[in-house]
Structure 1
């Protein structure tokens, strides 16, 4: 009869000879009957020793014969005409079941199937996940191409692989308790946010292709997943963001693959150099900018390069953290040694603090004016600090050099790094408060700085000291500014030694 399984077909499909469960005889353990147009397989109720049964690509809608297979471990009934699933007495150790490509409209209670480790229900008509509460061994669940509108019914399952692609999901919910999750496929849904993926510390792969993720900020939800290696955001609006590729690589440095492409070491370096470059890279880029713009200007001899390139123009740089006393010390030096030094104010785009004067402390300029000076080669060195631009102007140094004097300036470390790339060979003196508690109190009393600015400044004290310790000779001397008068006395002694006085 057409569609009815007979003994001959069974004989053809039997394979893998092995011991029966009782161990008393040899029997066939596996049976493959794929693609035979079968609709009636009741004859299989006699084959009680089967452990693996392959029934895909048939027309089966009744699996009751499996009730007679107590030792069955694996069942593949995909691509059939099933409208219900597990319509049979549960084999005690049934582990893997594939019911994909059927017509199953809903999930039923699987409390009796506690040995299940893998359940595939792709391409059915399921609208709700349920009945899995007692499946304490289930590690792989796939429900792609169904009608799910929400994620639920998965509480405390030991799932490692979850595929919910091609459904109608708009939010990532219901995953909180899935702490063992390693691979998650949510592609082809309508998801707009990655909220709900945080704290899944074992997640290694996330597929979100063809969703509606639009903002790079969403990546913050998965930024701290330590084992995340593979992320797919193809066909999401976020891909249209400027510098999308490097931004994602920078925000998720643990990734090895993005959008189905391997991430190279060079791309990781490019991302860091773009968004959080090492200070030396920033300084080198600043220096290259000065050279490039300088070469575009009419060439002339600078007083600061005379009398010869072999004898570099003398310059004194006091370097240290915010409001550590370097401004006051610089001005005192220039007054005390006015036959040798003149103060060279930097240009800056920040506003003047209370008590600061234009041209005396800084040249306070707009960002537009600063950029124009930059593009016309007006700076020797530039740097950024606390979101503002700073630059040591060439005309400033030249005007002092024409008087036959040396330039004295004060900078943050960012400026020093930039200046060290130039042909100038200044003396760098680190002026730093050693008593951080006293320094913090001093900053607070000034009333000029916000709490974050104060915290940042205090934290940089350790950075300055560490640079001094880790790179001997980076600074020519270190002066403690806890007491400014004592600091000036020490500075004066150092400068006299430099000048041979």
Structure 2
């Protein structure tokens, strides 16, 4: 069963990196679905399989999936999908993983139509901006490393240059490592955010961190351009910005070590790594 509350985002994209499969691009069939359905679940007065795993199938068309609206957990990792609109009928989805596909935009995508979706990962696609991003109220986790109520979101390994456009006030976990983000914008709307993961980007400053991030408990900006200079000016700038965050109102005076430093507060761990 997929774990909606946890995700390994500290390492490399081991599950989404590598050479593309040499298989011919193809269309999803009913036979494919029947072979890969699992996890028996009670629905109303009966039972049905609610988990569908379709990774590494070179799929470019999954239209047939619209006939299976009972699916709760769906994995489409490492295919050739540019359009996710055929998933619109999956209005009972709780968990969706579409890592390493070819989606380049959120416009026209069906995420807003998933009222129960709690975990979404779109790592290692071709997303360059967040225009058109609208999500469900239940979403808590979003992995963009590479939705309005999404708890977790992963956008890891894409081509995003800014954090602007994330209008998800109930978002709690945001993973945007391994993009090309140079500036932090629009974060003031994420008042419930507890985790912000921005490792391996090109941040020029932390000026976009907002005092409105009153729930933030973990911030990771390791291996970014901002930390290439270990001057006292940069160190003072870090402290000044972090002290604007509510949970960092009393940052302890801990010296900056050469390669690793942690600030411990009552509820917040702030972690920065210089170098690699």
TM-score normalized with structure 1 length: 0.41
Distance 1:7 1:234, change over 3 A: same
Tell me the equivalent position of 2:36: 13
- The superposition leaves residues 95-138 of structure 1 with CA deviations (integer Å, 9 ceiling, x where unpaired) of 211111011111024445222111111111112223323x2221
Aligned to 1:225: 265
2:75 corresponds, among 54, 61, 75, to 54
Aligned mate of 1:40, from 55, 61, 65: 61
* 1:161 aligned residue: 195
Q: Which of residues 186, 205, 214 in structure 2 aligns to 1:179?
A: 214
In structure 1, distance between residues paired with 2:35 and 2:212: 46
Q: What is the root-mean-square deviation in Å for CA atoms of aligned residues?
A: 2.7
Q: Within 5 A, what are the aligned runs for 1:431-470?
A: none
Task: Give the corresponding residue for 2:183.
Answer: 150
Separation (CA, whole Å) in 2 of partners of 1:127 and 1:231: 22
* Distance across 1 between alignment mates of 2:51 and 2:37: 6
Match of 2:3 in 1: none
8 A contact 1:201–1:227 mirrored in 2? no
Correspondent of 2:85 among 64, 71, 74: 64
Task: Report 1:229-248 matches (<5 A).
Answer: 231-235=271-275
Q: 1:55 to 1:65 in 2, by over 3 A?
A: same
Contact 1:198–1:225 (8 Å) recurs in 2:
no
* Corresponding position: 1:190 with 2:225: yes
* Maintained 8 Å contact 1:111/1:131: no
* Structure 1, gaps ≥5 residues long: 204-214, 237-501
Higher Rg of the two aligned structures: 1
Residues 108 and 152 of structure 1: CA distance in aligned 2, closer, same or farther (over 3 Å): same
Higher helix share: 1
Q: Distance in 2 between matches of 1:190 and 1:234?
A: 9
> 8 Å contact 2:216–2:268 — kept in the other structure?
no
Secondary structure at the residue paired with 2:26? coil
Shift in CA distance, 124/2, structure 1 to aligned 2, threshold 3 Å: closer
SS of residue paired to 1:18: strand
Residue of structure 2 in register with 1:80 after alignment:
101
In 1, the alpha carbon distance for the partners of 2:134 and 2:56 equals: 31
User: How many Å apart are 1:174 and its aligned residue?
Assistant: 2.3
Structure 1 position 224, deviation (Å): 7.7
Matched, 1:140 2:180: no
- Partner in structure 1 of residue 154 of structure 2: 120
Secondary structure at the counterpart of residue 196 of structure 1: helix
Q: Distance in 2 between matches of 1:183 and 1:224?
A: 10
Give the superposition deviation at 1:4.
1.1
How do 1:255-270 residues align onto structure 2 when only pairs under 5 Å count?
none
SS at 1:97 equivalent:
strand
Find the residue that maps to 2:65 and give its secondary structure.
helix
Q: 1:163 to 1:59 in 2, by over 3 A?
A: same
Q: Is the 8 A contact 1:144 1:166 kept in 2?
A: yes
1:167 and 1:188 in contact (8 A); partners too:
yes
Q: Deviations over 1:169-200 (max 9, x none)?
A: 12112222112111211112122341311254
Aligned to 1:444: none
Go from structure 1 to structure 2 and tell me whether the alpha carbon gap of 1:7 and 1:198 turns closer, same or farther (over 3 Å shift): same
